[in-house]
Structure 1
Amino acid sequence: MPLSSPRSYLTLASPARAEIEVRRSRFVCDVAPATSEEAARAFVGQVRAGSRDARHHCTAYVLGPDGATLRSNDDGEPSGTAGAPMLDVLRSHGLVDVVAVVTRWFGGTLLGTGGLIRAYGDALTAALEQARLRRMERREGLVVDVGAVHGPRVENALRGHEGCDVTHTGWTADGLVLHLAVVPGTQDSLARLVASLTSGAGHVAAGPQSWVPISLHPPVGD
């Protein structure tokens, strides 16, 4: 599956965990949503702190709506046998803004290169099979300024308009300011709507983009 498009992406709705055993070695995978490298590192630190007796804490994360930030770490396992296959699993499922940690307790039997690659990949796949996924979609920002006399009617119309979310409102000395998150391509029609409701007195300007959740998906194993 290719990485998510710039207009939407797939991520985790909440953390998940799974455990597998391979020739007496325990592999516990923790996965979680993360929107920055700081958040990803904090999650890794949290997992490490809870399992200090383990020999390895191997990690992978994919960040950014376009999946441009890729990081992995083998944490003492032979190079390319842990973090890289974990990264491959995340990418093959089209997931971004996600961090994964596989903690290994050595069971006394060497698994070899192929065995480690399979084990780390399988542990992460098992965790994803328990995870709820969320589709996020890009929204364009608009800021609407209308006089007090028009404010309630404009707000009511915008709240009932499909593809338009009123994310914040505030009153000023001049009237009502509404911050909107709207489906790309609808800005002009919404500006015309505001103009119609205010006889041209309302003002519409571009605001910051945002990402909003639009749907939940079952675990990848369902």
Structure 2
Amino acid sequence: MIPYRTIEETDDSIETLYEIQKSKFITHLRHVDSEEDARAFIQSMKKKYFDARHNCSAYVLGESADKQKSNDDGEPGGTAGNPILEVIRKNDLTNVVVVVTRYFGGIKLGAGGLIRAYSHAAVLGIEAATVLAMTPFIQLNEVVSYDLLATVEHWMRQKEIRSLEADYAENVILHLLIEPANLEAVKAALTDLTAGRAALTTGDESLIAIPADS
């Protein structure tokens, strides 16, 4: 599995406002999983801000960020859509669409000014979002007796081991989430901690969303 960074899914889009030289730049962005979703979001912003001079956009899709598109929507070529796209790239994000709506204030910004304005507007939008690192984890299932449970749970807290909800029956089944590179070390540590009394089985690998550091 390929790790990647994206933004948190929300019911509503994230909105920020940036003003310069009487022009207003309104940024909206959201998590999307397909080109169809990205295009639909762009169209919804164009419909909402139908009276704006420009609704410029960019999106990046796929775990490998291999689907990328930008649109200047009437601004001089390369001054709007591509700067937005570059901000998405610099933040190593994918499965995200960004739309920057511009209400012209009567003062021309020039090509350089437009590039800086659209870039800054996109940066503000991404800074307002919750960035997630989609990280590969392997589920490690551990069957332990109740007399060992407190010891194992204490160790898990110390090591900051993520886990799913446990199953409680005759014994306890803990479902630990371990990064692949740490799997063997964790198995060895648990075997030592429980003096070999824990039954360990390896489950499926999946991508888990965790808050990104930056």
Q: Distance in 2 between matches of 1:126 and 1:146?
A: 47
Which of the numbers 143, 157, 161 marks the counterpart of 1:164?
161
User: CA separation in 2, counterparts of 1:29 and 1:191?
Assistant: 47
Tell me which residue corresponds to 1:138. 135
What is the CA deviation profile of residues 47-95 of structure 1, one whole-angstrom value per residue up to 9, with x for unaligned ones?
Answer: 4453232232211123456544322222344443321121112223444
Residues 1:29 and 2:27 aligned together: yes
* 1:69 corresponding residue in structure 2: 67
Task: Please list every run of 5 or more consecutive structure 1 residues that lacks an aligned counterpart in the other structure.
Answer: 1-5, 218-222
Q: Whole-Å Cα distance in 2 between the matches of residues 150 and 193 of structure 1?
A: 18
In structure 2, stretches of 5+ residues that fail to align are none
Query: Counterparts of 1:95 and 1:149 in 2: how far apart (Å)?
Result: 43
After TM superposition, give the deviation of residue 212 of structure 1 in Å. 3.9
Displacement of 1:166 after TM fit? 0.9
Q: Is the 8 A contact 1:11 1:95 kept in 2?
A: yes
Deviation at 1:205, TM superposition (A): 0.9
- Tell me, yes or no, if the aligned pair for 1:13 and 1:132 is still in contact at 8 Å: no
Q: Is the 8 A contact 1:25 1:108 kept in 2?
A: yes
State how many pairs are aligned.
208
Q: TM-score, normalised by structure 1?
A: 0.67
Q: Identity across aligned pairs (percent)?
A: 28
Change (3 A) 1:67 1:190: same
Q: Which residues in structure 2 correspond to 1:34-183 (within 5 Å)?
A: 34=31, 36-37=33-34, 40-41=38-39, 43-45=41-43, 47-64=45-62, 66-107=64-105, 113-128=111-126, 131=128, 134=131, 136=133, 138-146=135-143, 152-153=149-150, 156-157=153-154, 159-171=156-168, 175-183=171-179
* Residue 190 of structure 1 pairs with residue 186 of structure 2: yes
- Cα-Cα RMSD: 3.9
Alpha-carbon distance in 2 for matches of 1:156, 1:144:
14
Which contiguous aligned blocks of 4+ residues in structure 1 show a shift greater than 6 angstroms? Answer: none
| C-alpha distance in 2 between matches for 1:139 and 1:145 | 19
| Cα 1:42/1:161, change in 2 over 3 Å | farther
C-alpha separation between the residues in 2 aligned to 1:198 and 1:41?
57
Match of 1:3 in 2: none
